[in-house]
Structure 1
């Protein structure tokens, strides 16, 4: 599957015959694939091979009702624009401080189910020395 669109999330995913398996019983050792059908109200079909259980668990976590995804995938230049809007320079000290502010919001996990990170963020630590990724997992 080359790409997904917003309409995919507004519609249901349907089950094909033969090699497709419905629900969490995912047995095929192939690439994940989906097909959209707005007429089917609640079916889900995935072909994911050896990562099936992990994929289902991740999908359920991300799709938690009432929670969203924190988009922290700002490039350094874009992060600099956010910093400039509050009168700060785009430096290697200020970017982690900005990201620390985002990930240390009290009860953040009640409101987000996942985060999209910029590559630099994967290796950054918060201002108190914890890895940003670890703070998000907590």
Structure 2
């Protein structure tokens, strides 16, 4: 069997999880993926998707059940926000980075950001992610 790229396996795994009627186990995903990938490969892929904020997981038996963290339409924004957060966390001068980011926004984006910051806090993320 030819090796899949990590990106392709992540896409296929995400498609399987999204198509399911509810949260799925690693074994469920292995069964539904073409090409009989190794259980541990799928388990690692699901864990990476959780780390990226694309999936959430909840305890089920001795393992976890996985579900999408966001709708398909929201996933690109969630991935980008997570990447931005990681970059901000990696930089030692947070206030400088944030100030520079805001200074480089166009006026419409700046107004939108201000409106978002004025909103009441949203519900916290689901546990298990």
TM-score normalised by length of structure 2: 0.31
Q: Which has the higher contact order (CA 8 A, sep 6+)?
A: 2
